[in-house]
Amino acid sequence: MVVTGGAGFVGSHAVEFFADRGWNVVAIDNMSRGEMLGRSGTDTPKYNWNYLSGKNRITLLNASVTDAERMEKLVSNADAVIHTAGQVAVTTSLTDPRRDFETNMLGTFNVLEACRKSGRNPAVIFCSTNKVYGENVNRLPVRLNGDRYEYTDKAFEHGIPESFSVDGCEHTPYGASKLAADLYVQEYSHTYGLKAAVFRMSCIYGTRQFGNEDQGWVAHFILSALRNKKITIYGDGKQVRDVLFVSDLIAAYNAFLESPLKGGLFNMGGGSENTLSLLELVERIEKMTGRRPDISFDEWRNGDQKVYISDIRKAIKQLGWKPKVSVEEGLQRLENWAAGA
């Protein structure tokens, strides 16, 4: 198995999980996260490389998915590819759209071509995002219910389904590069018969995640609180997300690999039963740590969603999977790790 972005948050959890299950895993990463985000303290790759190094059945390689030839060689012996490598922040995509495009679109295309040419028909898992639905999500009417926003339309009481329109709206360059890659993955499944799944992920959180203001807000809030750093909340803090603990995400990947499905498109998150508003997270952090995080408020950011909840019923039905880690337990696990990180 090849895991791209294997030193990243999601990638490193995939590497560890599948190596523990007996797969020989080649993890590749170009260690660019900190540089791409332009922030210190976000260097997930170095931390995770150290964490994974020396473990059985894991090979760590410094390589870029933008290098087509290298990808072909690396994938030539693989039975499965988990493609997590990416430019991950909307903010960076706005300031450096070329790098965003090359990493997310060209990188994914190289992975797919490597799979097509290998002749082994490897299974492919692609980390897409809810941002593919772009501004269409923000056109849904919402109302305040106490301290959180909710959709007013009953049709979305379970969240946003895969059939939701991706057309006719702004996406940000990140949303567009991910959507283009997402469509290519679906296309390679239809046209070339690759067993390929697209997971349109919302908010994934967990241990070994160095979140920051631009990406990974749950970890960002907890790390900042523990380090006595100020947290800026953009908007009123009542915005709501569904959150999924990383081990549950990897369990969904595994369920797809073990399933007879030939391909798939899944909205993936904690679903309507595992949601959190920003202010609710601040409350929970205070309960866990005994300290009130130092927060301040600023203007809403462009494209911020008031509510995003994944409708995960298709994944539940087709993958025989469901989230197991409650929000309470997941936050506690993240806090335990963050306290020692």
Residues facing 243 on adjacent strands: 203
Least distance in Å: CB of 254 to ligand NAD? 16
Q: Annotated catalytic residue: which of 149, 151, 174, 253?
A: 174
- Lay out the site mask for ligand NAD across 144-183 (x = CB under 6 A, - = otherwise): ----------------------------------------
Nearer to ligand NAD, 131 or 144 (CB): 131
> What are the start-end ranges of the H helices in 4-106?
9-20, 33-37, 44-52, 68-75, 90-95, 97-101
Q: Which of 86, 134, 173, 271 binds ligand NAD (CB under 6 A)?
A: 86
Are the C-beta atoms of 94 and 38 separated by less than 8 Å? Answer: no
Least distance in Å: CB of 113 to ligand NAD? 15
For the chain, the 3-state helix, strand and coil shares in percent, each to the nearest 5, are: 45, 20, 35
**Helix count (H) and strand count (E) of the chain?**
13, 15
Question: DSSP strand E in the chain: where?
Answer: 2-4, 25-29, 58-62, 80-83, 123-129, 142-145, 148-151, 196-201, 203-205, 231-234, 240-245, 263-268, 275-277, 295-298, 307-308
Least distance in Å: CB of 264 to ligand NAD? 16
Does 263 interact with ligand NAD (rule: CB under 6 A)? no
Does 270 interact with ligand NAD (rule: CB under 6 A)? no
27: three-class secondary structure by DSSP:
strand
Q: Which of 32, 76, 138, 259 binds ligand NAD (CB under 6 A)?
A: 32
Report the residue number whose CB is nearest to ligand NAD. 8
Indicate if 234 belongs to the active site.
Answer: no
Does 129 interact with ligand NAD (rule: CB under 6 A)? yes
Q: Which stretch binds ligand NAD (CB under 6 A): 24-32, 74-82, 139-147, 186-194?
A: 24-32
